[in-house]
Structure 1
Amino acid sequence: MSIDIPRTAITIEEVAAAAGVSRSTVSRVVNGSTAVSPAALEAVRQAISELNYVPNRAARSLASRATMAIALVVPEDTSRFFGDPFFAAIVSGINKRLSRSDYVLNLIVASDDPQDKATAYLRSGAVDGAIVVSHHTSDTFIDRIAAAVPVVYGGRPLREREHDHYVDVDNVAGGRVATEHLLGRGRRRIATITGPLTMHAGVDRLTGFREALAAAGLAEVAVEDGDFTSDGGAAAMQRILDAGQPFDALFIASDLMVRGALPVLARAGLRVPDDVAIIGFDDSPVARSVTPHLTTMRQPSLAQGECMADVLLAMLSGGEPPYVTILDTELVVRDST
């Protein structure tokens, strides 16, 4: 008498390996999701057929518990978030992309997470993935979120790891081009107000500034941190004036900081651009609301938001988007130089 010994059931991991895709992609195909590329769909179906895979009903039930929600995590206080046009453009870009998908956006604004409330919520299965923008070296709670759900960063993380996905602009090139523009206007005593040096955007724009000065054989007059806020720009501008070193130009690493710096210069009797040429960064609505209208480096914030959403959606559908996406900046010349 012969006894038929049943073959061990094929697992979803074996199907994923045979199809050359992730486990989550197989789950989406099995559960009828449309968020899968045609090539991945065909590869999974072929592997299922060849392996004679029969989905486990309990596993399918668990796998289908997608929330269809994505979190936008902003590790800043609410005044910074609602007062900075950069965030409005980022949210618009993300929402524009998600409007063409089945996902909804949850917004979490938190300067830190001392009681782990936001972290616990995001790790509880309340969202399928997260986009994190404006993160600092001190934001260690983000690491715990990234250990639980797929994460895309807006801007290069300072604690960058091999498999981090992020979308950024070329801040080094932006800082360099901005400074070269001032040099091209004949300015030789150039100071800068940086963003926070706990963020790569602040560090990289300062690096570009210094590269341009070094190539011209010049030394920086002053470097002050303005923290990307209007008040921070005003305080940094006052510190530069108090230092007493003459300057004829400023590279200020955000338009908001320029808005804070301009009244301080006016009170000191310095005219823009006659006495001091100024270039900002962002090309936010602030650039056209100040007087004189601001020469600035345009960063494509709306496109950044769309691209971050694209990368995360690709991750959630089992695709393999690029780990790093870098967008270009553009010089916009107006009256302040």
Structure 2
Amino acid sequence: MRRRLRPSPHGKAPTLQTVALEAGVSPATVSRVINSSARVSEEHREAVQAAIARLGYVPNQSARGLVTRRTSALALVVRETLSFGVSDPYVSATMIAASQSLIGTGIHLVVLAARDDAEQQSVADYVVSGHFDGVLLVSVHDGDPLPERLLHAGVPFVFCGASAVVLPGVCSVDCDNPGGGRLVAERFLAAGRRRVVAIGGPTDMPASAGRIAGLQAGLEAGGAQLLDLAHGAWTRTSGEQAMHELLLRQPDLDAVFVASDAMAVGALRALAKAERRVPRDVAVIGFDDVELAEYAAPPLTTVRQPIAEQAQRAVEALLHQLRTGEPAAPVVLPTELVLRVSA
């Protein structure tokens, strides 16, 4: 008959050895139960679980990590400055949604940002040194060495958003960027807009390229051409500057597609300064459908991408890989046009 133990009268927390005595098994058996090993009989598993419940035992995460080689931490790596990541509506919404997706899992999310190659090297060194079970990559630029380094180091990771390269055995969770661009073209053409310009994001980011390519394909299908293209850096200031340049080069433009809502708000400001009425003189459509779009002046017609779902699906894909050792299938989420005043 097993000897029943009670928590110490001195209030000491029960240990793995205490649980083993209470359950009448060895400490190794308790460890296997805690770490979900299949090498435990059902009788012993039930005895250990009952002892844990009676004693209120909480496994030590550091000790458990030595057995499982798990850290209970995921890294979210953004190839931008931290201030950009916090202020950019898309990146900040992704951070929040990813963090919320881990509530109740016992896994923590750590955000790491790198603004240049030197910082990226430091971040890469830290990530591959065993501090994290897996990595979410956000805002990946073309030529970024981190994805291949993670792959070679055997660190599980998922692209949250578009990736410039397709790597074997790596999942990406993206939205239909070209499809969103085509929706914009169809809206402009249906409204009789033929002198269409665009403001893309950084030239080394595939999300921007996909949106512009979709716009061009949609315009060509309707017998029109993209009149001009400028680029910004996903910020309101860069969107305003790009719009100013396009007005100088194409003063008779009548529509502008902007590859992010933040840049589109900047473009609206430039149009207001130039005394161009929106949408009467110039129709404007953004991309993302972040909260900023609804409060723009005028409220912004935009392409909605499901940012929260994208982050959630990326977290799920990474957790799936950690559980099974196999990457999840790539995901492309649909986009839709949200009509407001600007177009």
Same fold (TM over 0.5): yes
Q: Point out which structure has higher relative CO (alpha carbons under 8 A, 6+ apart).
A: 1
Q: Which runs of 5+ in 1 are unaligned?
A: 1-28, 35-40, 47-59
Report matched runs for 1:144-293 at 5 Å. 144-148=149-153, 149-293=155-299
CA contact (8 A) 2:320 2:328 kept: no
Residues of 2 paired with 1:70 and 1:279: CA distance?
Answer: 35
Query: Quick check: 78-87 or 206-215, which moved more?
Result: 78-87
Could you say what the CA RMSD is over the residues aligned between the two structures, in angstroms?
Answer: 2.2
CA contact (8 A) 2:196 2:226 kept: yes
The amino acid of 1:98's aligned partner reads: L
Q: Which residue of 1 aligns with 2:128?
A: 123
Separation (CA, whole Å) in 1 of partners of 2:74 and 2:212: 33
- Does the 8 Å contact 1:31/1:63 carry over to 2? no
Does structure 1 retain, via aligned residues, the 8 Å contact 2:33–2:40?
no
Rounded to whole Å, the distance in 2 between the matches of 1:308 and 1:132 is 9
Give the match's secondary structure for 1:138: coil
Question: Which whole-Å CA distance do the structure 2 matches of 1:64 and 1:79 have between them?
Answer: 35
Give, as a single letter, the amino acid of the residue that structure 1 aligns with 2:260. S
Cα distance per residue 1:67-111 (max 9 Å; x no partner):
010000001012311111111211122112111312111110112
Q: Deviations over 1:238-278 (max 9, x none)?
A: 11011135211111111001111112111211000000011
User: What 5-or-longer segments of structure 2 have no aligned partner?
Assistant: 1-30, 42-63
**What amino acid is aligned across from residue 115 of structure 2 in structure 1?**
S
Q: Deviations over 1:131-159 (max 9, x none)?
A: 00001013223432343310101123112
Instruction: Note closer, same or farther for the CA distance 1:199–1:283 as it changes in structure 2 (3 Å cut).
Output: same
Q: Does 1:72 align with 2:76?
A: yes
- Return the alpha-carbon distance in structure 2 between the equivalents of residues 61 and 270 of structure 1: 61
2:89 corresponds in structure 1 to 85
**CA shift for structure 1 position 317:** 0.6
Residue pair 1:72, 1:108 contacting (<8 A) in 2 also? yes
Contact 1:176–1:211, Cα closer than 8 Å, also in 2: yes
For 2:40 and 2:84, locate their aligned partners in 1 and report how far apart those are by CA, in whole Å.
48
Q: What is the deviation of 1:298?
A: 0.7
The structure whose Rg is larger is: 2
Q: 1:112–1:139: 8 Å Cα contact kept in structure 2?
A: no
- Name 2:341's counterpart in structure 1: 335
